[in-house]
Each structure stands twice: as structure tokens, then as C-alpha cells.
Chain A
């Protein structure tokens, strides 16, 4: 229950009333008997939330594209929405950007309902749509000037060009740019109004590994400038490299959410320490005698399951003490691909089932 004080518009008396967040309460003025309504604002899930989505749903005929999902994005973090093609990522982000109309659910951006304040919010968000291509026959600088002219609030074009590493190509026509440069220009366009929140929908799809890395550096730089980034991707490496917080979506539902470490700790298998080309016989027995789960693999490697990181030092100490002869040590922990496989039975890269 929340208390709220309102002034009677009829007689001016201050009335105290109470209600639940999101509730509309009917009140009667004890002084003049005037009747009115008081709306109690919904509470933010997070104090520092840039985006709050609750019970969001999108239905196309019989197809439920997004199925009652809720999540929050903190200010200043990179939030990755990870899932295979067709999982509902773009539908979700486009509903948050107000490009698509939700079937049900609430979306708040910077504490304001997006439906009610979208025109105002346009000045505070920057968007790179999926598979975006700009005007072919404008130069990079002209493109930025063009989009900048739409806003009241402008960032400095020169500093955007420098920060996006576009100085050498600022006078090139957009159509002559490489795929990576085009995506960097796309991100630059999303920055022309100096937005607080930037939506990047699959920003590296179709790029070669080198160009993808370049775009990653640009996105990582946004976090350093205090921007909130909402990123959709089907590349688990992208989410692992960039995201502070990851939500994995599958068939319209969020199936796991948290930081990379949280997801691995919660859903991943224990890490495996692999003693490569172990030449000393009896190593497996020695390790087992110390309580480790160890086995010899076909290629001569010895694999040891480790449940917490302190045990790595213990293993190394045993190997040194027992004078075990080996080539090298490899420690591998679960990744998002394995987590997705474990949770859904499908691979991220295979697309939606």
C-alpha cells in the first residue's frame, strides 16, 4: 500500500489516500463531497532501471512470437538479448522501441510508459534497426547531418566521427563502404541525438570476424561513455564479450537471465582441467586418491572435473609433487552455446526450432 496526498480541485483541501502501485482509486472529498480518481504509479523494479518490461506479449494469429516476458535493463550496462533466429528478439526490441504494438504488457523507458511518452522518448533513444542500410548516395558526414537535423538535441558530429573511427571515410559515399564500416555508421547514426539508451538489433550479422571485432570495440566504447545499450544477437561470443547482463530467449520466452558468470555458475557444467599428453602412468589414480574425478581420454590426455577454482592450485601442486610429465594444462569452462544446448536441446547457431 502506498500513501498519496492530493489537493481537491473543488475546495482545495488536502486529502490523504492510499492504494497499490498501478491502481486507480476513487476518492470523495470529506469537505465538499466532490468525487475524483487518483492513479498510483507503478513502482520501478529497479531504482536505476533504464528499461523495464513486464508481461510483454505479442501474438500473430495462432503464433505467439513473444510470450509473457519480463526483464529490466540497468542504466549504463550492456544488456544482451541472446537467442537464435526467430526466437522473438527483434519483435521484442521493436515493441520496446514502439515500432510494433504489443498484444499485452507494459514497457517503461527511463521510468516513463513508452506508449504515453514515445514522442518525448524519441529524443532520448538511439536505434540501429536490424539489417539497416542508409541512403546510398550520401557521404558518411552528410548522413549524420541528415539524421541529426531531425532532433532538437544534437551530439557533435565531429566527435561522433572520431569516436566511431570514421574520420578517414567521412567523405565516402555510404554505398562504397565495407560492411563493417556501414554498421559503424549505423551505430553513429544512433548517436546523433546523444541518446541515453541505444538499441542495436543484430549489429554484426553478416560481418566477417575482423569487422565484427571492430564493431564490438565501438559498442564497448559506448558503455565507457555511460550509455545504456540494448543489444540483440544470436552470436554467443558477442554476448560473452560485450554484455554485463544476458537474457536468453527461446521460442518467445526468456529461459535464462543473469551475468555471464551467473549463467555459467547456474546452468553450466563444472569446468574441466585437461592435462595434455600426460606421459606418467598412474596420474589418474593419484588424482582420484585426492578425491578428484579424473579419467584418461583416448588421445592420452587426462581430464579432471573441478567444481571450484581453488582446486586448480591443488591439482597443480599434486602434479608437481608427483613429478608428472605432461605437455601443457588446459582449463575449459562452459560457454553460452553449451548452456543454450543444455536448456533447449538445440544449438544457438542452428536457428529456432
Chain B
């Protein structure tokens, strides 16, 4: 192993990288920018708050109780409007995406339940279809409230006492969810595009042909490049976590699985980049191929939003994406500290890394036909 070359390659690689403002931006500043933007959008002292317009047409003790339960959920900001107001016009004028209307026969139906168990009443949801994410979240919260409320009635118990934690889901903030996804996404893009550059641009520029006539082996070259890529992975991970902690009070833990996932993710996506670079010869096409893989993966693998907010078929798609296992592995290792799940996802990440990297190394070709 030519250690002198590996050292020189690493030092000059870092120097060359630092001189590329674009690469530094995409590796470090871009993820930082995303954390700041998404953090600002979704973090309000660690909580998310949604506006819910409520119109009580019943104005009874029952309906007031129900509205009271909704008020107790801190993620909901209840805006009550008069019963004579046009609810859809109000939504349009005030730019509200969701409204809930309690019908006139709400209390009457509930009271009749005790004599007629088939009695039922429907609350009317008014939603803005362009705000699917927000409406989806609010609908799931209200559904949970209704579930508890109905349970109380059918079992003769009071409906008060709806647990906010249960209603909203797990006890972590959006930024806690977002940072591990951002780490996975950043490593993925750095590794894939880095590998593509080495395998297409360097081939086009004759650098690979040049190296073939020099006393360096393919393994030495890939090894030294991987050291550099690992350096990049850890630098960007460190910066993302630092910004998350300083700006948004990120609460995470570092353990051995965290390091295993970071290292394996670097190898996994470098391997994937090598595979792309092997089959797509043109530099521009290879960039597009990289984008075609990274962008859908970025949105479908639960980087920015929890998968359970997505339709079922997209959740199934996520299960076959390597980035999904990286994101979930990091979340379980860094945030939830769930050992079983961490082991499960880390196992997949290690397996993906092994398969992609070995395939990438074998497919990387210097010699011409």
C-alpha cells in the first residue's frame, strides 16, 4: 500500500474540495440552510401548532365539552366562529385550511344514543385540498379525539382526559425528526455525486487512463478516495448536528450504531455512485442519473416528513429505498434509543453497504477495451 500517495491524495483532496465553493455549499451550507428553514417552519419551542376553525351549530353542553377537549390539545389553535357565519367564506377570507362544523343535532343524537344505539351524527370537515399535509395532520388528530370521545360514550365514561401525547404521537420535536434525515440525505448526495465525478469526469478527462500508467492500484485509489469521502461525511454530520443543537436545541445521543451507520452509508452510496458511473458514461447524463436517484429518494424515504403522513403505496415504496433504512436507523440510534429497531435498521444499512460497495468496486473499470 502506497501510504505516501494516500496521504498526499487525502491532503490535496481536502484542499481541492475547500476551493470549490459549490461543493462546500452543497455539502455543508445547504444542509445547514435547510435545517434553519425547516426548523423555523416547524419548530415553535419544540411544538407544532395548527389552526382549526370550529363552528358549533348545536351550542349545547355536549358540544361545548367536545370543543373544550379540542382546546386542550396544544398543537391545535381553536378559532371559534359564530353559528350564523358562512364557514367556507370565513376560511377563504381568513386563509384557513381546515374547519370543523358541529351540527345542530349533535347533543340530541348523543342523548338519543342511550335509547337507540344506532343513532349517529356526522361532524362536517371543510378542507383546503391544496394543503394536504396540514389537513392530513389535523384530520388524524381530530379522528383520535373522536375515537376517545366515542369510547367514553360507549363505555359510559367521561370523554375528558384526552391525552395530548397520545394524540400527537411520539414525544419528539420536528427538528429531532429532521436532523437524522438531513444527515442521511447529505451523505447520500455527497457520496453519489463524488463517485459519479470520479467515474465519469475523470474518465472523460483522461485521469483514469493516466493513473493506469502509473504505479497505483485501483484498490489504493478507491481506498484513499473513501478516506476522503468519510472525512466529508463526518464533517457534514458534525456541522448539521452542531447547528441543530445550537439553533434548535436538538436532543440526541451518539453511540456505536451512529458511527456504523455513518460509515456504512458513505460506503453504500459511494458504491451506488460507482455503479451509476460505470453504466452512464457521459458526465451530464451521469449527473441527471444521480439526480433521478437522489431526489425521489430524498422525498420518499422520510427525510423531510414522517412516512405515516404519506399514502400507503408510497410507504411501501420507501421500504425498498436504502435511504429509508439510513434515516430510520439514525433516528432510532440518535433519538429514540430503541435498540431493537436500531439493530434492525443498522443490519439493513450494513447489508446495503456491502452489496453496493462490492458491486461498485468490481464494476469500476480503468482499462479500456
Residues of A at the B interface (CB closer than 8 Å) are 60, 94, 97-101, 119, 122-123, 125, 127, 129-138, 142, 145-147, 149-152, 173, 189, 199
A-facing mask of B1-42, CB < 8 A → 1, else 0?
A: 010110111001001110110000000000000000000000
In the assembled complex, the CB of A128 is this many whole angstroms from the nearest CB of chain B, namely 8
In the assembled complex, the CB of B107 is this many whole angstroms from the nearest CB of chain A, namely 73
In the assembled complex, the CB of B208 is this many whole angstroms from the nearest CB of chain A, namely 9
User: Is B369 positioned at the interface, with any CB of A under 8 Å from its CB?
Assistant: yes
Contacts A149-B5, A150-B2 given: A60-B215 contact, CB under 8 Å? no
Q: Count of chain B residues with Cβ under 8 Å from any Cβ of A? A: 25
Closest 8 CB pairs of A and B: A129-B206, A133-B205, A149-B8, A132-B206, A137-B16, A137-B19, A127-B213, A129-B209
User: Is B216 positioned at the interface, with any CB of A under 8 Å from its CB?
Assistant: yes
Q: Is the CB of A122 within 8 A of B5?
A: no
Residues of B within 8 A of A138 (CB): 12, 15-16
In the assembled complex, the CB of A177 is this many whole angstroms from the nearest CB of chain B, namely 14
Q: Is the CB of A99 within 8 A of B212?
A: yes
Residues of B within 8 A of A173 (CB): 19
User: Is B157 positioned at the interface, with any CB of A under 8 Å from its CB?
Assistant: no
Q: Is the CB of B209 within 8 A of A101?
A: no
Contacts A123-B215, A151-B215 given: A146-B8 contact, CB under 8 Å? yes
* B contact patch SS: helix
Residues of B within 8 A of A134 (CB): 205, 207
With A101-B367, A138-B15 given, name 17 new contacts (CB 8 A).
A94-B209, A99-B209, A99-B368, A100-B367, A122-B214, A129-B206, A130-B206, A131-B206, A133-B206, A134-B207, A135-B16, A138-B12, A142-B12, A145-B8, A146-B9, A147-B210, A189-B210
* CB < 8 Å neighbour of B215 from A127, A145, A150: A150
Residues of B at the A interface (CB closer than 8 Å) are 2, 4-5, 7-9, 12, 15-17, 19-20, 205-207, 209-210, 212-216, 367-369
**Residue among A60, A129, A135, A138 with the highest chain B CB neighbour number at 10 A:** A129
In the assembled complex, the CB of B227 is this many whole angstroms from the nearest CB of chain A, namely 15
Q: Is the CB of B210 within 8 A of A129?
A: yes
Contacts A134-B207, A135-B16, A142-B12 given: A99-B214 contact, CB under 8 Å? no
Q: What are 18 residue pairs bridging A and B, where the CB atoms are less than 8 Å apart in the complex?
A: A94-B209, A98-B213, A99-B209, A100-B367, A119-B215, A125-B213, A127-B210, A129-B209, A133-B205, A133-B207, A136-B16, A138-B12, A142-B12, A147-B210, A149-B2, A149-B8, A150-B214, A189-B210
Residues of B within 8 A of A130 (CB): 206
Q: How far is the CA of A189 from the CA of B216 in the complex (A)?
A: 15
Q: How far is the CA of A127 from the CA of B5 in the complex (A)?
A: 18
In the assembled complex, the CB of B170 is this many whole angstroms from the nearest CB of chain A, namely 44
Residues of B within 8 A of A97 (CB): 212-213
Residues of A within 8 A of B367 (CB): 99-101
* A contact patch SS: loop
Residues of A within 8 A of B19 (CB): 137, 173
Q: How far is the CA of A164 from the CA of B367 in the complex (A)?
A: 30
Residues of A within 8 A of B216 (CB): 150
Q: Is the CB of B214 within 8 A of A151?
A: yes
Q: Is the CB of B206 within 8 A of A142?
A: no
- The A-B contact count (CB < 8 A) is 80
Q: How far is the CA of A300 from the CA of B162 in the complex (A)?
A: 113
In the assembled complex, the CB of A126 is this many whole angstroms from the nearest CB of chain B, namely 8
In the assembled complex, the CB of B259 is this many whole angstroms from the nearest CB of chain A, namely 30
Residues of B within 8 A of A146 (CB): 8-9, 12
Residues of B within 8 A of A199 (CB): 213
Residues of B within 8 A of A101 (CB): 367, 369
Q: How far is the CA of A146 from the CA of B2 in the complex (A)?
A: 13
In the assembled complex, the CB of B106 is this many whole angstroms from the nearest CB of chain A, namely 69
Q: Is the CB of A132 within 8 A of B205?
A: yes
Residues of A within 8 A of B205 (CB): 131-134
Q: Which residue of chain A lies nearest to B217 when distances are taken between CB atoms in the complex?
A: A119
Q: How far is the CA of A136 from the CA of B202 in the complex (A)?
A: 11
Residues of B within 8 A of A98 (CB): 212-213
Residues of A within 8 A of B206 (CB): 129-133
Residues of B within 8 A of A135 (CB): 12, 16, 207
Q: How far is the CA of A152 from the CA of B20 in the complex (A)?
A: 31
Q: Which residue of chain A lies nearest to B210 when distances are taken between CB atoms in the complex?
A: A129
Q: How far is the CA of A130 from the CA of B224 in the complex (A)?
A: 26
In the assembled complex, the CB of B24 is this many whole angstroms from the nearest CB of chain A, namely 11
Q: Is the CB of B215 within 8 A of A100?
A: no
Residues of A within 8 A of B214 (CB): 122, 147, 150-151
Q: How far is the CA of A94 from the CA of B368 in the complex (A)?
A: 9
Q: How far is the CA of A134 from the CA of B201 in the complex (A)?
A: 10
Q: How far is the CA of A15 from the CA of B9 in the complex (A)?
A: 53
Q: How far is the CA of A259 from the CA of B217 in the complex (A)?
A: 39
Residues of B within 8 A of A119 (CB): 215
Q: How far is the CA of A97 from the CA of B5 in the complex (A)?
A: 22
**Residue among B4, B205, B207, B214 with the highest chain A CB neighbour number at 10 A:** B214
Q: Is the CB of A100 within 8 A of B369?
A: yes
Q: Which residue of chain B lies nearest to A60 when distances are taken between CB atoms in the complex?
A: B369
Residues of B within 8 A of A127 (CB): 209-210, 213
Q: Is the CB of A149 within 8 A of B209?
A: no
Q: How far is the CA of A151 from the CA of B213 in the complex (A)?
A: 11
In the assembled complex, the CB of B230 is this many whole angstroms from the nearest CB of chain A, namely 20
Q: How far is the CA of A133 from the CA of B209 in the complex (A)?
A: 11
Q: How far is the CA of A94 from the CA of B369 in the complex (A)?
A: 10
In the assembled complex, the CB of A277 is this many whole angstroms from the nearest CB of chain B, namely 51
Q: Is the CB of A137 within 8 A of B20?
A: yes
* CB < 8 Å neighbour of B213 from A60, A122, A133: A122
Q: How far is the CA of A100 from the CA of B5 in the complex (A)?
A: 25
Q: How far is the CA of A97 from the CA of B209 in the complex (A)?
A: 10
Residues of B within 8 A of A125 (CB): 213
Residues of B within 8 A of A122 (CB): 213-215
Residues of A within 8 A of B16 (CB): 135-138
Q: How far is the CA of A251 from the CA of B133 in the complex (A)?
A: 65
Q: How far is the CA of A228 from the CA of B4 in the complex (A)?
A: 29
**Residue among A97, A135, A137, A189 with the highest chain B CB neighbour number at 10 A:** A137
Q: How far is the CA of A237 from the CA of B4 in the complex (A)?
A: 42
In the assembled complex, the CB of B301 is this many whole angstroms from the nearest CB of chain A, namely 32
